[in-house]
Structure 1
Amino acid sequence: MLVHFSLETRDETHHRLLKVIASAEWQVEPSLYRFVTFTAADFAQSANREALALVRDGEVWSQLVPTQDSTDLEVFKIISFHFEPGLDNSGFLGWLASLIKEKVGTGVVVICGRNDSKGGIYDYWGLPADCSHAAEALLDELQATARAGH
């Protein structure tokens, strides 16, 4: 696995990451998602095949699973990103999370994985459901700006 380290100004980083987002594939998952936790002893009977992610903190497992309950206080709309192979996307997570916080007013939950057949690292970004349309509009705007060469 190749890790990139870039020594660049904030403006240089911004322009490089605009190129990354210009070529990124992103999509909004159709379901809402929420976290469900369980103990390690309950893994075999509690792990959900429909989970987008399973993570463990040493005490409990947490899985991100589809939900129909839009009234849950911690329900997320998920946007997935796959990146073009070979592009330096270092710093993408912090850059985009900062823009979403600044422009949309919300933080994000990000879970990463790896799929070598689709460019390597991919991200699942969780946003509060009521903020997802504004975040999607921001992504469209960033891609349009980047593709126009600005």
Structure 2
Amino acid sequence: MDITPETSEQTRQRLLRVMAHARADVLPGDYTFAEFPVAQFPAHLASSLAGSALALVRDHAVWSALVPAPAQTKAEDCYTVLCFHFAPDIPNSGFVGWLASEFKRRLGTGVFVICGQNSSDGGVFDYWGIPRSVAPQAINLIHAMQSQGGAE
């Protein structure tokens, strides 16, 4: 993790550069969360979610799996998912909080973020869940920010 004091403007410029050099892939289809009791793991995962879950997280009582949304899923429970892979040579510390704040400020929406690690593809990667209702605006904002960060 990069620990370097920065002004707010220096942080913004660095994170725009991170954005410009990141690969942002929009996954096809909608996603939602499927929950099942901790006691049903791994049987429930193997029987119904294997191969389709993008992420699994749990608390004290349930596993929550990010999965493709079935056709009958309510619109408010559907998310467009973007996957960011970052350039390994540009410190991306603070990216999640910064971009989430930009989405809230500009689009009025919250997001969810689930992070993973792929050492052969830049290191840390993020799945960003954006409510389907504002996904086109969010994707346009990402493209605009990528262009802005590349204009240095």
Normalising TM by the smaller chain, what interval?
Answer: over 0.9
Instruction: Describe how 1:87-102 pairs up with structure 2 within 5 A.
Output: 87-102=90-105
Counterpart residue number, 2:60? 58
Task: Give the TM-score of the pair, scaled to structure 1.
Answer: 0.94
CA RMSD for the aligned pairs? 1.1
Q: Is the 8 A contact 1:32 1:70 kept in 2?
A: no
- Residues in 1 aligned to 2:147 and 2:66: alpha-carbon distance in whole angstroms: 31
- Residues in 1 aligned to 2:72 and 2:138: alpha-carbon distance in whole angstroms: 21
SS of structure 2 residue aligned to 1:145: helix
Amino acid at match of 2:84: F
Counterpart residue number, 1:132? 135
Task: Give the TM-score of the pair, scaled to structure 2.
Answer: 0.93
Q: Is the 8 A contact 2:57 2:65 kept in 1?
A: yes
Q: Would you identify which runs of 4 or more consecutive aligned residues in structure 1 move more than 6 Å?
A: none
Instruction: Describe how 1:1-150 pairs up with structure 2 within 5 A.
Output: 3-47=1-45, 48-49=49-50, 50-67=52-69, 68-69=71-72, 71-149=74-152
SS of structure 2 residue aligned to 1:85: coil
Q: Structure 1 residue 70: deviation in Å?
A: 5.1
Higher relative contact order (CA 8 A, sep 6+): 2
Gaps of 5+ in 1: none
Per-residue CA deviations over 1:77-127 (Å, capped at 9, x if unaligned) read 101100001211000000100111111110000000000001111000001
